[in-house]
Amino acid sequence: MNWGDPRLPQRFWDKVHPEPNSGCWIWTAASSWGYGQFGWKRDGEQILVRPHRLTVALVVDLPSNMTVDHRCENTLCVNPHHCLVVSHVTNAKLFWARHPERSAGSPGAVGRPRRRAA
């Protein structure tokens, strides 16, 4: 898949900036929780989708119960070749492997605090 693929509307690509050094396709429009958002019509209904899921789904099978891991670690990147379809469990494992400082019990923890031994 190339940048500007005609299977997605021009208004999609208008919001995507190809980064020549990293090869990332950076989503420049609306985002939430660090991920992009795109208004998309499906079955006549306007829904908000993650733009990287749209591009990935055009390249590989993307079941709704699977998540997308950004191998480039840029969550705004919509280049499907930088993304890996993984289960939620694998995605979490990859995250903790990359961010050991944020694992439970450490000062910057984002997970559930570890229960203290009695």
- Of 1-9, 39-47, 77-85, 100-108, which part binds Zn ion (CB under 5 A)? 77-85
* Cβ atoms 51, 36 nearer than 8 A: yes
Tell me the site size for Zn ion, rule CB under 5 A: 6
Residue 24 interacts with Zn ion (CB under 5 A): yes or no: yes
Out of 72, 86, 92, 94, point to the residue binding Zn ion (CB under 5 A).
72
Mind spelling out the 3-state secondary structure of 48-93? EECHHHHHHHHHCCCCCCCEEEECCCCCCECCHHHEEEECHHHHHH
Q: What's the closest the beta carbon of residue 8 comes to Zn ion, in angstroms?
A: 17
Residue 29 interacts with Zn ion (CB under 5 A): yes or no: no
